């Protein structure tokens, strides 16, 4: 599951070297462990991640179709029909950009269902990702006695690094359970653009792609003991600060996390 | 080196993109995806297609003998054909022999980046079978693609 670039070969120190502190030894162990992991191409990983959105729409389409087809009453003619409908090669889904368009045009109920599905997919990944990152014995992570702030820092650094190859650009908090995670260059959407200049529609169409990280954040939090009901997470666009270098996508993303503790 | 025009054709024989520069002094002059170039596109495609089939026939060894450039009395046409059937074509003057690397760069760093990795853009512009036989008129209008292409080719138009 590691999304490190293939060919990332960082030189590391000799293990037999004397005078290593405990911390350095652990760092070294982590390095060895990470180098031993199978590497996955970042681009392939990113594309699969992005394809989750059209996938969720297409699942919804199939569910609607199977509901329309009606009750599972089977007589001989229906069975015959089923046999004729058996495909060696199943019909393909519509192309991804059509499915994204469909999501944009869907009514509120359907869209909410699709977004919910995306969030829950992200949630599952988040839950498992924590296990993986904890399992990798990173000496920088001590999960015992971890307060909420360090959990959020864990998300900003390790989770984001693992997923998007970069850290969150900015983390803001009021120390009462409200956090803003600002990513000015959210990687997966950097090159997305519609053909024409209609930026409003474009922003609305790209918005569903934020549901995966939203679910991811909730998943990581829930696996670390912050229950689903206690956490509210939302994503929205923000303007990029003017002093940042120009990038292709002109908006940043802000993830607003609210943890309600009793 | 001066560049006169740039074209992209897909595997369905459609012209996906055309860019023609009219004034060498001004890199933003000329037309993008002009309707008037439709006929020229067909002629250009036909010329390259025929010469390509000739070169394929004339080759002795099995590895495909791809056409790289065609020179006429007035200009030179450089082609880059990908395995997926995309043709990237550049018409230039005679000052430079090969634009192979330029075309390779346009394909791998501009087309792939802004069209292939853009989930909101179709990966194949021919939407139905009636558009697959050279009848389609859909064009690439992605603003990132056009901006990146312009800024990459601009220094080569002058001179």
Say how many residues make up chain B.
159
Quick one: which of B129, B137, B108, B125 has its CA closest to B18?
B137
Indicate whether B7 pLDDT > 90. yes
- Tell me what the pLDDT averaged over chain A comes to: 81
Indicate whether A185 pLDDT > 60. yes
Record: contact A191-B144, CB cut-off 8 A: yes
Domains of chain B: 3-157 (3.30.450.70)
Domains of chain A: 40-262 (3.30.1380.20)
pLDDT at B41: 92
**Gap from A52 CA to chain B (nearest CA, Å):** 11
pLDDT at B49: 92
Quick one: closest CA in A to B111, which residue?
A191
Quick one: closest CA in B to A99, which residue?
B120
With an 8 Å Cβ cutoff, is B109 touching chain A? no
pTM, full prediction: 0.80
Indicate whether B75 pLDDT > 60. yes
Indicate whether A80 pLDDT > 80. no
Structure token digits, residue A249: 């996508």
Least confident of A49-58, A129-138, A247-256, B130-139: A129-138
Record: contact B121-A196, CB cut-off 8 A: no
Q: How is the beta sheet containing A178-183 ordered, strand by strand?
A: A170-173, A178-183, A251-259, A231-239
What is the Cα–Cα distance from B39 to B52, expressed in whole angstroms?
Answer: 20
Arithmetic mean of pLDDT, B81-89: 91
- Angstrom distances, CA of residue B84 to CA of A154, B12, B80, B123: 42, 11, 12, 11
Arithmetic mean of pLDDT, B110-122: 89
Banded pLDDT at B47 (limits 50, 70, 90): very high
**Gap from B121 CA to chain A (nearest CA, Å):** 6
With an 8 Å Cβ cutoff, is A55 touching chain B? no
Banded pLDDT at B110 (limits 50, 70, 90): very high
Indicate whether A244 pLDDT > 90. no
Indicate whether B97 pLDDT > 50. yes
For residue range A150-184, list pLDDT tens digits in order.
888 888 988 898 888 889 999 999 888 899 999 98
pLDDT at B107: 94
Burial call A111-139: b when 16+ CB within 10 Å, e when fewer:
bebbbebbbebbbebbbebbeebeebebe
Indicate whether A16 pLDDT > 70. no
With an 8 Å Cβ cutoff, is A95 touching chain B? yes
Structure token digits, residue B75: 């200009």
Arithmetic mean of pLDDT, B8-31: 85
Least confident of A45-49, A112-116, B47-51, B136-140: B136-140
Arithmetic mean of pLDDT, A214-240: 88
Banded pLDDT at B91 (limits 50, 70, 90): very high
pLDDT at A248: 77
pLDDT at A10: 46
pLDDT at A7: 43
Least confident of A30-34, A135-139, B71-75, B89-93: A135-139
Record: contact A193-B143, CB cut-off 8 A: yes
pLDDT at A3: 44
Record: contact A97-B119, CB cut-off 8 A: yes
Record: contact B144-A47, CB cut-off 8 A: no
Quick one: closest CA in B to A51, which residue?
B119
Cβ-Cβ contacts under 8 Å, A51 against chain B: 119
């Amino acid at each position: 599951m590691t999304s490190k670039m293939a060919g990332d070969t960082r030189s590391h120190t000799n293990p037999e070297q004397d005078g290593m502190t405990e911390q350095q030894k652990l760092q070294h162990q982590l390095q060895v462990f990470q180098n031993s992991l199978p590497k996955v191409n970042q681009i392939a990983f990113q594309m699969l991640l992005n394809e989750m959105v059209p996938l969720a729409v297409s699942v919804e389409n199939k569910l609607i179709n199977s509901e329309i087809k009606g009750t599972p009453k089977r007589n001989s003619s229906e069975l015959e029909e089923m046999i004729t409908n058996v495909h060696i090669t199943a019909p393909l889904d519509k192309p991804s950009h059509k499915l994204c368009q469909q999501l944009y045009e869907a009514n509120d109920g359907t869209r909410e269902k699709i977004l919910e599905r995306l969030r829950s997919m992200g949630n599952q990944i988040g839950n498992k990702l924590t296990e993986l990152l904890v399992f990798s014995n990173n000496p920088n992570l001590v999960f015992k006695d971890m307060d909420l702030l360090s959990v959020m820092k864990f998300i900003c650094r390790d989770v984001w690094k693992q997923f998007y190859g970069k850290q969150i650009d900015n983390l803001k908090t009021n120390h009462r359970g409200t956090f803003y995670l600002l990513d000015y260059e959210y990687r997966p959407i950097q090159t997305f653009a519609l053909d024409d200049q209609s930026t409003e529609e474009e922003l609305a169409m790209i918005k569903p792609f934020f549901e995966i990280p939203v679910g991811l954040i909730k998943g990581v939090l829930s696996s670390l003991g912050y229950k689903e009901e206690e956490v509210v997470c939302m994503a929205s666009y923000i303007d990029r600060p003017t002093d940042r270098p120009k990038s292709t996508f002109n908006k940043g993303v802000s993830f607003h996390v609210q943890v309600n503790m009793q | 080196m001066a560049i006169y025009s740039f074209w992209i054709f897909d595997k369905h024989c459609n012209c996906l993109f055309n860019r023609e520069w009219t004034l060498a002094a001004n890199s933003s002059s000329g037309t993008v995806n002009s309707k008037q170039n439709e006929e020229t596109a067909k002629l250009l495609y036909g010329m390259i297609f025929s010469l390509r089939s000739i070169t394929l026939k004339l080759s002795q060894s099995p590895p495909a003998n791809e056409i790289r450039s065609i020179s006429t009395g007035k200009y030179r046409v450089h082609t880059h054909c990908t395995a997926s059937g995309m043709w990237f074509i550049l018409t230039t003057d005679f000052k430079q022999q090969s634009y192979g690397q330029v075309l390779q760069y346009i394909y791998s760093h501009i087309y792939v980046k802004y069209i292939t990795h853009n989930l909101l853009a179709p990966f194949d512009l021919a939407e139905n079978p009636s558009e697959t036989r050279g009848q389609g008129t859909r064009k690439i209008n992605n603003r990132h693609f056009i901006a990146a292409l312009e800024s990459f080719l601009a220094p080569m138009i002058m001179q």
